[in-house]
Every structure is written in C-alpha cells, then in structure tokens.
Amino acid sequence: MRWWGTRRVPIIVALAVCAPFVVALVAVRTQGRWFPAGDMAQAELHMRGFLGHPPLVGAAGRIVGDTGTQGSHPGPSLWIAMLPIYLVGGRSSAALMAAVVSVHLTSALVALRLTWLRHGPLLTGVVAAVLVAVVRASGPDFVIEPWNPWLAIVPFLVFILLVERCLAHEQNRFALLGAVVVGSHCIQCHAGYAILVAAGLLIAAGSQVHRDGSRVLGVPLIALLTMWIPPLIDQVRREPGNLTLLWQHFGSPSEPRLPFADAVRVVATQFNLLGPWLWGPGGSHPAESWFRWPGFVLFIVLFAGALLSARRRGWTNEFGFLLLLGSFLVVAALSVTRLFGPYFEYTIRWAWILAALTLAVAGVVLGRELIARTSSAKHGRRITSAALIGLVGATTWTSVVLASDVHRPGPTDSEIVGGLAPALRRLDDEATYLVRFWDPYTLNATGFGVVLEMERSGFRVEVEPSFAAAALPHRTATESEVDSVLWVVVGPKNESLVGDETLTQVAYFDPRTADERLGAATLLAQIENGLRAAGRDELIPNLVSPGASLLFAEPPLPDDVARDLRDLYLLGQPVGVYSVAPGTDVSSLG
C-alpha cells in the first residue's frame, strides 16, 4: 500500500472533495446576475452592514419570545466566517455565494486533515467519499446558499473529529480549543446544534481534565467567552435581548412536541443504511418507505459489529471513535424527542453527518477485520483501492449532478427583484424610505429583496421595528423618521390598487407569461375548492391577505392542495411598488 501513502494522494483526495463545490459555483455564475430575496437577502443585509454595524446575533429564525418578538439564532459566527471572501469579492451577491463555498471548503479540508493525522489514509478516503455523497444528497442549494442551517453542516463534522481528538492519549493542546470554537460556530449558526455540541464539549473537556488536570481548561474557556461576547453584548443592549428570546422560545414552547411515534420514525429514517444522507430529503428515498426499519436495523447491526470487532482486535483508536459516535447517536435520538412545532427535516440536518461518519468508521473497521481474518495484504490493497475509486466516482457523479441542477437561489424571486430594480433606481437618492410589505405568498421575500437592492444602489432604506431580527435594528424606523413610504405589494391585490389616488406606482413587474397567468387563476380556483373540500374554509381569505404562507398552516394541508400552492408560488406573482407620503392613511392596504 506504499502508493497510497505518497504525498500525491492527500492532494488527490482534497481536490476530489473540493471539485463539486467549485463546479457548482462556476456553473451558477454562468446563469447571470443573482438578486437575493427572502432569507438570502436578509443574510446579505447582515453582511453588507458588517463594518459599520457588526451583527451581534445570527439569522432571524422561527423563534418567538413571550411577547411575540421575533428572535434570531444565537450568534454572528457565520457572518464572520463569510466576511473575508465577501469583502474581497466587492460585497456583491456573487461574492456572497463564493463566501459560502469558502466556508464549506475550509471545513472539509480541515476535516480531512484531522482524519488523516489520527486515522491514516484509508478512513480519510472513506470519509471524503461519504462527505461527497452528503453534498450530492444535499443538492446545489446547500453548496451556494448563504442559509444559516447549511453553514453549520460540514463544520459539525470538524467538531466531531476535534472531540474525538480530545480523547486521544497523546497531547493535543489545540483540540479542545478548536472544539470550543467550531462547536460555538455550529450553535450560533443554528440553535438546533446546542444539545449535541454541549454533550460533545462535556465529553472532550472531561477527557482532557481527567488526563491532564483542570489547567487545560484555561485557554478554551477564554475562547468560549470570546465567541459569545457579541450575543452577550446584544443581551445587555436590547430589551428583550436575543438570549432571553431564545430561552423563552425553547424553555417554554407554545407548540406541541413531536409525538413520540413520529420521533421514532424520524430517528429510524435518519440513522439508516440508505438514509437521506445518501439519497436526499423527501419521500422518494428508501428510508422514507419500505426500507425504513430494515435499514435502521442494519445501521445498528453494522455499528455494533464494528464496535465488537474493534474491541476484540484491540484497535483502541477505532473503538474509542465508535464509542464517541454511539454517544452522539444517543444524544441525537433524545434531542429528536424534544422537537416541537411543525417538523422540518433541515432542522436536524446534523443527522446526515452523524449517520454518514458512523457508517464510514464502521465500514473501515469491518474492512480491517476482513484483512485480519484473511491475513492477506492483497485484500488490504483491494479495500484501499476501492475507497479511492469510490471517492473518484462519487465526486464525478456529484459534480455532474450539481452542474446540471444548480440554479440561482430563489430564481423566481430573483427575476422579480431584477425586474423591479431599474425603476427603483430612478427614485430620489436623497430621500430616506420606509419599506412596507403586503404579501400573502412569499413571507415578504420580494420585499426584503427590494430592501437589499435599494441599499446596494445607494438608497437609505428602513423597515418597521417588527422586522429588526430580519434586517437588524439599525435599519428600523417609524413613518415620522422617513421622507417616503414604499409599499411592496405581491399578488392579485395590485389590480385593485389601480384607482387608489393615495398611491403612486413607482415599479411593477409580472414574471408570468399570458398562459402562466391563466394557469395561476386555475390553480387559485383549485386551491379554494380543495380548502373547502377539506373543511378549511377559514383559510381561504389568507390566499389574498398578507401574512404567513398557507404552506405553514397547522394542521398541514392535504397533499394535493399543498402541491397546487407550491406550483402557484413557483409561477411567481405580479409585484408592484407604490410610494405614499408618511402619515397617509392607505385604507386599501389596511
């Protein structure tokens, strides 16, 4: 196996893992300019104001305090991680996508380096292959979108490897420090990592204290405090602070917990031999149907078999690693039972990394067992060659899939914002504008896209204080503090505003063709009929009234109605932007 240990092989492995990310970024850049909207626009708003108004918290989330105030995910680590490439790229939306890729690539390369140093080339090759499989299953949106859940996934792999390194007998002065920093990053990206990271840090710190004494905690504790200074400053400066909102939301949830039977199904689906880590989310992969329970049993059998084999053979590194992964699996299963409100798979996407890494380590241990049983170096070379071939095949397949499927995030919203932009640039650039939203369809995605594009064009743009989490407090104002109010109106409501003399239309764009407009009317009628048939008549007014999308209705809508709604949203809606003097009563918009 001497050829595997050459210097060329680590470079080949690194290039193989990097290729899909680079291919996806290059492919999306050939599709024209991207105009971010919704969560993507909010992400860039946090980045654009970083130097003048550094964000102290993370992205706005489905986090609500006791008084109805929207909260954010815990900290600004993701903005800091993306900042260098974003600034070098000229603070453009293209630079934002490149910044996302830079976080993924840096994390992946660090993970491979840690695996190589601790476990050698075979496990490194297998980990690289399953990481590429996770990227393919996640799809092109994961690679390029600046969405906070995505920015923690590959770093979580680094975190697990750092915790595992803390368990090693040899001195690892920086492992616990790194685990503290990377683990804090994961939590600050998405609060759903808190339980897993806390458990991992307790294991890592306990191991090092047991071996070297409490003196090893000094620098990591300083790093922990440093990572959490921004959220602590926010907590002191605001009332209520974001940490208070997080405590209220997760400490006393207003929504019911996930039923235990559903939690068990989620665990069996995620920790599965052919789970979504390999096939992607949704109901099309085997673990969501007939293979859920056999795949889960096989996952446990492979894990248990590898654990017993490693102990019997005296492979302490692998045995300790599998014990650690088993501990994470138990904590993960318990954390799933604590979910509340509507279940969205992306909130536990950390399960993909945990499942894939567990199978990678178990597979390598069982492969070594085969070599030991046959006492044949030939088998060792074959297994090692298979790992490298599998990696090359996985990265080739993934690169082709991503290149063919990649698209600008939110392409319809991007088209709409781009269509509105030329008219918006003709507004008075000396005025200060308050942007308001009237949107029954896209959770104000178009509105935030307008805010971002106007700010990028040099306008002073504000939103109402209720959107402080989405746009940051320094972009909030009341009518008395601005020169003009802009209403961003989405949907058929624009038709009834034609005769409203209190409003002046400054921009309008409809992304649909004539046939698509007819199709949208048909879909709208089908949705109304479907709601009536399902006994959900009370939701029909929400189709033409501002508020949250009906896709988030509880209990969930029937599948056919939800499908029609998604088709309606994908077509896009006409969007008008109207100006009005501050203080004017606009009765038509309520």
Residues 399, 452: one domain? no
Is the confidence at residue 21, as pLDDT, over 90? yes
188-245 pLDDT, tens digit per residue, is 999 999 999 999 999 999 999 988 888 889 999 999 999 999 999 999 999 899 999 9
Angle between helices 350-374 and 121-138 (to 10 degrees): 150
- CB contact set of 40 (below 8 Å; sequence gap of 6+): 145, 146, 147, 409, 410
First to last CA, the chain: 74
The pLDDT mean for the chain works out to 91
Question: How far, CA to CA in Å, does 273 sit from each of 18, 269, 278, 362, 567?
Answer: 25, 9, 9, 11, 33
From 354, 374, 405, the end of a domain falls on: 405
Instruction: Assign 383 a pLDDT band (cuts: 50, 70, 90).
Output: low
CB 571 within 8 A of CB 519: yes
From 405, 436, 465, the end of a domain falls on: 405
Residues 76, 185: one domain? yes
Residues 461, 377: one domain? no
For the chain, percent of residues with pLDDT exceeding 70: 95
Is this structure's pTM higher than 0.85? yes
pLDDT, residue 1, reads 39
The region that residue 432 occupies, defined by phi over 0 for left and psi between -120 and 50 for alpha, beta otherwise, is beta
- Taking the C-alpha atoms of 42, 44, 45 and 51 in order, what is their torsion angle to the nearest 10 degrees? 150
pLDDT, residue 381, reads 63
Which of 254-258, 395-399, 442-446, 453-457 holds the top average pLDDT?
453-457
Residues 229, 120: one domain? yes
Half-sphere exposure of 381 (CA within 13 A, CB side): 6
Residues 416, 277: one domain? no
Residues 112, 189: one domain? yes
With CA atoms as reference, report the closest residue to 309 among 386, 379, 231, 361. 361
Instruction: Assign 391 a pLDDT band (cuts: 50, 70, 90).
Output: confident
Residues 122, 193: one domain? yes
Phi/psi at 535 (nearest 5 deg)?
70, 30
Residues 121, 260: one domain? yes
Is the confidence at residue 481, as pLDDT, over 80? yes
pLDDT, residue 311, reads 94
Amino acid letter, residue 477: A
Beta-sheet pairing, 484-490 with 432-438: parallel
pLDDT, residue 537, reads 87
The region that residue 211 occupies, defined by phi over 0 for left and psi between -120 and 50 for alpha, beta otherwise, is alpha
CB 82 within 8 A of CB 146: yes
Can you read off the two tokens belonging to residue 126? Answer: 């297998």
From 405, 440, 467, the end of a domain falls on: 405
Residues 26, 135: one domain? yes
Q: What is the count of structural domains for the chain?
A: 2
Which residues span the domain enclosing 79? 2-405
- CB contact set of 282 (below 8 Å; sequence gap of 6+): 276, 288
Residues 481, 352: one domain? no
Mean per-residue pLDDT, 153-174? 90
CA-CA distance, 456 to 469, in Å (whole number)?
20
Residues 11, 98: one domain? yes
345-380 pLDDT, tens digit per residue, is 999 999 999 999 999 999 999 988 877 776 655 555
Residues 343, 479: one domain? no
